[in-house]
Amino acid sequence: MTLAADPPLRRSRHDRELRGRAAKVIPGGMYGHMLANERTMPPSFPQFWARGEGAHTWDADGNRYVDFLCAFGPMLLGHRNPLVDDAASRQAAMGDTLSGPSPRMVELAELLTSAIGHADWAMFAKNGTDATSTAVRIARAATGRTKLLKAAVAYHGANDWFTPRYAGVTPQDRANIVEFAYNDPASLEAAAAAHDGDVAAIIVAPFRHDAFVAQEPVDPAFARAARALATRIGAVLVLDEVRTGFRLDVRGAWEGLGVRPDMTAFSKALANGYPIAALVGADALRAAASEIYVTGSFWYSAVPMAAAIATVQHAIEIDAPALMKEPGERFRAGLEAQGDRYGLPVRLTGPVQMPLLIFADDPDKSTAFAFTDAAARRGVLLHPWHNMFLSTAHTVELVDEVLTLTDAAFAEVAAARRAGS
């Protein structure tokens, strides 16, 4: 289907009505990373969504978009992937939340431990926060220590010790967090030395993917330094792949560097949108993992596990990270060339499978907001300050069509700048 470059009149009545209703029954009308208001998202960005299929999503008013958010990461194989949905449906016909786990739990654990280089065991939960929090508890149980080393600003979940907003959080909740500068081995060493003998874990993302700033690939020397430090001081190295899992390397994001963590947390893309998280780890932590108490009423649900098996198997078969590279490179090159042509220089930072827009001379993100707003009105869903995500449903042909729309969006923003608006 060919996409039109001129922005159609976008319907928004239903979205406005839903926002009004939500404000009466949901605190703030919405919460967390899904909040879409004038402070967080462009004016044309909907709050409520009706459906998705492949690389497209439709808002509550029926407007269609090419989706470069992929639900903020879960849609690895595209919305409503038939292979995944069929596996989930077959399991749903037998049962989901039963009086104990289904055989799918064992099958998924076997699959992950065979696919991920450093994984000897696996545990399951619902959200990324569950997985990172479980990793922290295991690290403390294994070491008898308290301190957690994390990169400054880095997000590792919504629990008290990691949440970026401190309302309702006590100083004691964060008392054992020690920060270092990402990609700076000296800073990491200093953080550890300041708490010699009490560092339980170093938790780190595969690359620096903080919001609002240019994404920073990991320096292999830093990854090796983190591994060496954790080994030397007897701490646990935790790799947080909640956001990156199965998009960079199906074996584990640092496997290509020859650096293996002790534990890795996964969630988002693990089951192509079905709610599940996983923590995998090395044999040395098996005893500690079996000693802690973590659970949840829905942590053993069989449907997401069936979906995860289908997702991971297919991602391995097609090499999903490699499949997304050509469309991602085309998207990056196209947007950057358009920005230069219209006098609005932009870089797509980070891996091409999950880039982040950074416009030159745009400290308040006004250019990013204007551009993503113009793109949204043309049916292209981009984000002004967060990672975007490609899926295997984003083809080169679709990207070429999208670039026609983004060219028109750049033209609109450039014209508005010339007019002084």
Write out pLDDT tens, residues 194-215.
999 999 999 999 999 999 999 9
Q: Are 272 and 76 in contact (CB under 8 A)?
A: yes
Q: Is 224 left (phi over 0), alpha (psi -120 to 50) or beta?
A: alpha
Tokens matching residue 132: 């990172």
Tokens matching residue 274: 């079905």
**Which residues 6+ apart lie within 8 Å of 153 measured at CB?**
210
* CATH architecture of the domain covering 13-62+324-418: Alpha-Beta Complex (3.90)
Taking residue 51's Cβ as centre, other Cβ atoms within 10 Å add up to 13
Where does residue 121 rank: exposed (0-12), middle (13-18), buried (19+ CB within 10 A)? middle
For the chain, the distance separating the N- and C-terminal CA atoms, rounded to the nearest angstrom, is: 34
Strands 147-151 and 199-204: parallel
Q: In this model, does residue 171 exceed pLDDT 90? A: no
| Comma-separated ranges of CATH 3.40.640.10 domains in the chain | 82-318
Write out pLDDT tens, residues 359-402.
999 999 999 999 999 999 999 999 999 999 999 999 999 999 99
Tokens matching residue 91: 């399991």
Residue 280 phi, psi (nearest 5): -115, 155
Task: Please give the torsion angle defined by the CA atoms of residues 280, 283, 289 and 290, in that order, rounded to the nearest 10 degrees.
Answer: 120
Which single residue is written with the structure tokens 């909740």? 173
For residue 123, give the 3-state DSSP assignment: strand
Calculate the CA 224 to chain-centre distance: 24
Q: In this model, does residue 2 exceed pLDDT 90? A: no
How far apart are the C-alpha atoms of 66 and 5, rounded to whole Å?
Answer: 13
Write out pLDDT tens, residues 305-355.
999 999 999 999 999 999 999 999 999 999 999 999 999 999 999 999 999
Of 365, 378, 287, nearest in space to 45 by CA? 378
Share of the chain above pLDDT 90, in %: 88
How far apart are the C-alpha atoms of 375 and 382, rounded to whole Å?
Answer: 7
pTM comes to: 0.94
Of 297, 345, 354, nearest in space to 325 by CA? 354
How far apart are the C-alpha atoms of 19 and 37, rounded to whole Å?
Answer: 10
Write out pLDDT tens, residues 59-69.
999 999 999 99
Q: In this model, does residue 169 exceed pLDDT 90? A: no
How far apart are the C-alpha atoms of 104 and 311, rounded to whole Å?
Answer: 13
Q: Which fold is adopted by the domain 82-318?
A: Aspartate Aminotransferase; domain 2 (3.40.640)
How far apart are the C-alpha atoms of 8 and 274, rounded to whole Å?
Answer: 33
How far apart are the C-alpha atoms of 187 and 175, rounded to whole Å?
Answer: 19
How far apart are the C-alpha atoms of 133 and 230, rounded to whole Å?
Answer: 19
For residue 261, give the 3-state DSSP assignment: coil
How far apart are the C-alpha atoms of 111 and 107, rounded to whole Å?
Answer: 6
pLDDT band at 1 (very low <50, low <70, confident <90, very high): very low
Write out pLDDT tens, residues 7-39.
666 778 999 999 999 999 999 888 877 777 777
How far apart are the C-alpha atoms of 134 and 153, rounded to whole Å?
Answer: 21
Question: Which residues are registered as beta bridge partners of 57?
Answer: 52, 65
Question: Which residues are registered as beta bridge partners of 180?
Answer: 151
How far apart are the C-alpha atoms of 232 and 226, rounded to whole Å?
Answer: 10
Single-letter code of the amino acid located at 13: R
Q: Give the CA distances from residue 286 to residues 6, 122, 135, 283, 357, in Å, rounded to whole numbers and listed in that order.
A: 57, 9, 12, 5, 41
| Comma-separated ranges of CATH 3.90.1150.10 domains in the chain | 13-62+324-418
How far apart are the C-alpha atoms of 12 and 135, rounded to whole Å?
Answer: 43
Helices 103-115/302-318 angle, 10° precision: 30
